[in-house]
Homo-oligomer: A and B are copies of this chain.
Amino acid sequence: MPSRELVIGFDADDTLWHNETIFENVHRRYRDMLSRYHDAATVDRTLFATEMRNLEPYGYGVKGFMLSAIETAIELSDGKISAGEIRELLKLGRAMLEHPVDLLDDVAATVATLAATHQLILITKGDLRDQERKLAKSGLAPHFRHVEILSEKNEDAYSTILRRHAIAPENFLMVGNSLKSDIAPVLALGGAAAHVPYPLTWAHEHVDELPPSAGRFFELKSIREVPSILAAL
């Protein structure tokens, strides 16, 4: 029988720790490398188009990003990019994978507080090993009862997770920075969702409209406000 206790799901990248800032820094160096071929806007637009085209075969994560970045560099330079520059791109990618995990403000204390009273589940997408490594480095692993690393965060995926852990949607709260991946699918299933925006959002994560959610949607400024909304659930 599903438990009636509230279970809290947390997104990882840009909800618990910084991620998009690392990508943004790499984008800047990538634009510099290609600046003799094209302006920054063209580089950004072409790279994003390549990433979207490759999302089906590659999925999310740093490795797919690196492959798309190499492909785009060859395309934008009309094949003139050098092997040495491609080696630099590979190094940039490995540096992303080896980057320290920087927790966002108030994350450590808030997650520890909530773990004392609630079952917490980490629900994230991206490269399997990269996400596991970041969780291990974060020091937050002991607070999570379960860890779910997904290839896509849509209604089907959340539905499978809730079923697997015998959680009724009305007893589930998801906390995350992406309206598209963390908020909309959970609201659509009848769960509650708290949006904690991150200063940067990858274009792919934008969403036009949220499902109706009558009292189940919370727009927060910081993760430390999460405990204060639990009484309303």
Contact = CB atoms under 8 A, between A and B. Distances in A.
Nearest to A152: B129
A113 interface: no
Determine which residue in A64, A80, A90 has the highest number of CB atoms from chain B within 10 A of its CB, and name it. A90
A213 B86 CA distance: 49
Interface residues of A, number: 33
A127 interface: yes
A218 to B, nearest CB: 30
Interface in A27-83: 54, 57-59, 63-64, 66-67, 70-71, 74, 77, 79-83
Given A64-B63, A94-B57, A149 B129 contact: no
Interface in A109-158: 127-130, 132, 149-151
Interface of A: 54, 57-59, 63-64, 66-67, 70-71, 74, 77, 79-84, 86-87, 90, 93-94, 97-98, 127-130, 132, 149-151
A-B interface, 10 closest residue pairs, ranked by CB to CB distance from nearest:
A59-B129, A63-B63, A129-B151, A79-B83, A57-B97, A74-B83, A128-B151, A128-B128, A74-B87, A81-B83
